[in-house]
Amino acid sequence: MKKIVIIGAVGGGATVASQIRFYDEEAKITVFDRDDTMSYAACGTPYAIGQVIEDPESLLVADVRSFKDKRNIEVFLRHEAVEIHRNEKRVTVKNLQSGEFFDEPYDTLILAPGGSAVVPDIEGLSTSEVFVLRSYGDMQKIKDHITRHKPQSCVISGAGFIGIEMAENLKHLGIDVQIVHRSPYVMSILDEDISELVRKELEANGIIIHTDTSISKTDQRNVTLENGKTLQADFQIMSIGIQANTKLAEKAGLPIGPTGGIVTNEFMQTSDPDIYALGDATENVDFVTGREKRVPLAWPAHRQAYLIARHLTGTAIAKNGLLGTSVVKVFSQTVGMTGLSETMIKENGLPYATVIHRGNSNAGYYPDHAKLTLKIHFNTETRKILGAQCFGGKGVDKRIDVIVTAMYGDLTVDDLQALELSYAPPYSSPKDPINMAGYKAVSK
């Protein structure tokens, strides 16, 4: 009987355990996690804080008992793996409740340690109420603080996914929000013109934004910025980035790549064939360029869990590169992207052109329609799509998903005009924005 040990019990770790069990009824599977909850929907935590999701416990997908009863998988929470002994194929684990150390043998080890929120070394930070949002426990702390202290204002450091989602949800609770962002424009993964649309929507909903600066000092409610401004905030949220949890892998001598993630091959194996890794802590490759890429999002972790399970159970499937497809709700609008931004294209020295279509999400005469901007970059030599971004009131996810499918299907930008996409006035137009972008690309 094969002994499989998994480090990490959230999205990637819990999913890979379940996937392996689906294909292998006999393997002995043991999971360790240092947190006190497992298998929760981390992406839903901002909306639970904002009370859009009324029951936070609905984010808890599974628990220790259900994993044991339904899947025959042992899960130990509040247990931290502290060292991997590769030659002896065992892991030293610390029981965080009792302080006891013990060794757990394995035939196969799977690392799903995730990532941690980056908290900069800021003068006086300990004097202020400061939170991060990376776990179910973090969510509970923020909710508890809001319930008990009823804060009226918050400064969010970072205008990425979490920062923007938290800005909307805190505003939903009636809290005044200011965002501080080091880059010149919000959501730095976007092109500047699409980012500006996001900024306008944030500001239209009362969010005050400070770009090209960062927090240099805090003193209780006083937040001093590098540009000299001083803000007032009852509490702060740090959402400036995610650092891969690679210390365990590094200590074991497993290679870490230039993006800061654990290096894996096409089957998610590390340099040690008996140790796999997946999720936020891993380095993968970019679908377009083939260069190193780390994408700390839910979809890659779940896909990688499936690939590991199939490789372990005899039907190997190699991973594709990652596009970094993402979508974010911004009050009444949505922004989505896939593939390379214009900055990334220039950094890679690729010949490119851009087509932009501004129109309606669906028939303009239909009462429920919204403005939509679709921007697509393509290689001028091969005509292959390099990336796309979309902003609008509805239908953004649909258009980005079509572009993703086109890229995976190796279609050119010219092929977009010929796609027979579904049409009825409530949903699209006879020539969908995707088709229109394809027609417009012909002239380029």
Q: Indicate which residues carry an active-site annotation.
A: 43
How far lies 303's CA from each of 81, 268, 432, in Å?
24, 11, 30
Task: Note whether 239 and 116 are within 8 A (CB).
Answer: no
- The separation between CA 285 and the C-alpha centre of its own chain, rounded to angstroms, equals 16
Alpha helices in 180-319 (DSSP H): 192-204, 247-251, 298-312
**Residue 161 tokens, joined:** 């996914």
Alpha helices in 330-380 (DSSP H): 342-347
Residue 216 φ/ψ, nearest 5 degrees? -105, -25
**Residue 224 tokens, joined:** 């001093």
Measured in residues, the chain has a length of 444
Task: Note whether 434 and 397 are within 8 A (CB).
Answer: no
3-state secondary structure of 39: coil
279 torsion bin: left (phi>0), alpha (psi -120 to 50), beta (else): left
39 torsion bin: left (phi>0), alpha (psi -120 to 50), beta (else): left
Please list, in sequence order, all residues whose beta carbon lies within 8 angstroms of the beta carbon of residue 341, skipping any fewer than 6 positions away: 189, 190, 191, 377, 387, 389
Please list, in sequence order, all residues whose beta carbon lies within 8 angstroms of the beta carbon of residue 12, skipping any fewer than 6 positions away: 112, 114, 278, 279, 280, 301, 302, 304, 305
Burial per residue of 251-260, b for 16 or more beta-carbon CB atoms within 10 angstroms, e otherwise: ebebebbeee
